[in-house]
Each structure stands twice: as C-alpha cells, then as structure tokens.
Amino acid sequence: MTEARVDDSDHFDGYIGPAELRVREVCFPVEVTLRGFFHPAVGRYQWYGRVRAQDELAALVKGRKQEATLSTPSGEAVGVLSDPDLWGRYRLVGYSKPPFEVTTDMGDED
C-alpha cells in the first residue's frame, strides 16, 4: 500500500491512501481516493470517491450496490459502494461525517 497523503491546496477536503473497507462483515485492505464538500442548502456534508480495483472485492459485490464501512487513519464512516468503472474501481458515496479530516477554518472574515 502507498503512504496516505492530503493535497496541500486551499480548501481541499479529501484523502488519498490506504483504508479498510468492510462489506457484509468481510474486511478488505484497499486504496482509496476521496473528496468531499458541504451542501449548505441541505445542511449536510457529502463525501465520495473511488476504491482501487480488487478482485476479491469485485467477486463479493458483483457490481451491485452495497452498504460499506470505510476506515482510514482519521476516522470511519458508512457509505454506499456502487458503479464500478471500466477499470474495476468502485464508487463510494457517503453523507455526514466523512472518514477523513475536514477543513473547518474559513479564513479571515474581513
């Protein structure tokens, strides 16, 4: 697995690196690329990303939508695993608290 990293650019909310994905009580060590943003109109945070292709995960999920729990060094969250792309990477989407640190500093309000 690769070392986890966070983009240093302004206002990046996300995570790229190793994680553990639990689907139907089966745990998989995975690599993920995640992003997120706050929806002010609905008052909740949405996070999303892709899970690097893995044969064992694909054999269990079989392209179907599944609830999954993702754990990173910064936290854990429940999301929905779905929509594998042409490279076998599953999409993962969740709402509310994400499994990574979120920027809360709004900067100067002058």
Residues 12-47: pLDDT tens digits?
679 999 999 999 999 999 999 999 998 888 899 999
Residues 71-105: pLDDT tens digits?
999 999 999 999 999 999 999 999 988 999 887 66
Half-sphere exposure of 47 (CA within 13 A, CB side): 25
d(CA 49, CA 30): 13
